[in-house]
Amino acid sequence: MTSIMVVSATRRTERDFREGSALGTSLRRLSFDARIRSRIAYQNGRGLPEVYNQAIRESQDSDVLVFVHDDVWIDDSFLADRLQDALLRYDVVGVAGNRRRQPRQPAWAFADMTLAWDDKAHLSGGVAHGAYPFGGVSYFGGMPADCELLDGVFLAARRAALSQARVEFDPRFGFHFYDMDFCRSARQAGLRLGTWPIALTHQSGGAFGSDAWQAAYGDYLAKWGD
């Protein structure tokens, strides 16, 4: 039986997370499935990479790690089955991504710093958005598909593959660009990335272009050089 650990961080208390957050509500709904457990950093003040790396190092009894934001509704009742199939094909899977990577690309979906969308021919996957579960779906392109970059809202990986390849999240990217950096590190290590059809709804549309995002972009370019 595949053992799945859902890893997330939240500023909420444990009670507030379980009763009031999108992810907490989703995990209660999925509690019928004994394959799914959770590891949540409550009242968290650390960057996501620190939380995620700790899970990679300490969750040896889990086959699959799911790194997901706390404002995500997992609409798919059969999450464990989806992931079991997806990770037979890929080492890391997401719900949206880009088949290519371009120099100085600032996000998986955008081609340049004007935040213009990349050509749809290169995009894959779909994500719903809204304040409630089963929101309106933003469909980007056919899936499954091999990808170079994946949206960090939801990343699932074979824990053994990450450990063997020594791939972790870089703590310098506390929130912005941690996913871009992680995908590049994974691809550099020879891991296979791809999208998979998994139904979820994200309450947020992101914070592209903010001052914090701009600063992280500078750090990202300083590290990777392009």
pLDDT at 109 over 80: yes
Mean pLDDT of 140-164: 97
Question: Looking at residue 210, what is its pLDDT?
Answer: 81
Task: Say what the pLDDT of residue 112 is.
Answer: 85
pLDDT of residue 160: 95
Q: What is the mean pLDDT of the chain?
A: 95
Q: Provide the pLDDT confidence category of residue 207 given band limits of 50, 70 and 90.
A: low
Two structure tokens written together for 218: 């500078």
Give percent of the chain above pLDDT 90: 89
**Predicted local confidence at residue 206, as pLDDT:** 65
pLDDT tens string 84-100: 999 999 999 999 999 99
Total residue count of the chain as it appears in this document: 226
Count of CB atoms situated within 10 Å of the CB of 17 = 24
Query: What pLDDT, in 10s, does the model give residues 98-107?
Result: 999 999 999 9
Which whole number is the average pLDDT over 23-48? 97
Quote the DSSP letter at residue 116. P
Res. 180 pLDDT band, cuts 50 70 90: very high
What is the mean predicted confidence (pLDDT) over 148-167? 97
Residue whose C-alpha is closest to residue 193's, from 102, 108, 128, 73: 108
- The answer to whether residue 33 scores a pLDDT higher than 80 is yes
Sheet holding 154-158, edge to edge: 36-41, 4-9, 64-68, 154-158, 92-94, 193-195, 145-146
The pTM of the whole model exceeds 0.85? yes
Helix (H, G, I), strand (E, B), or coil: what is residue 219? helix
Whole-number pLDDT of residue 1 = 60
Torsion of CA 177, 47, 90, 204, to 10 degrees: -70
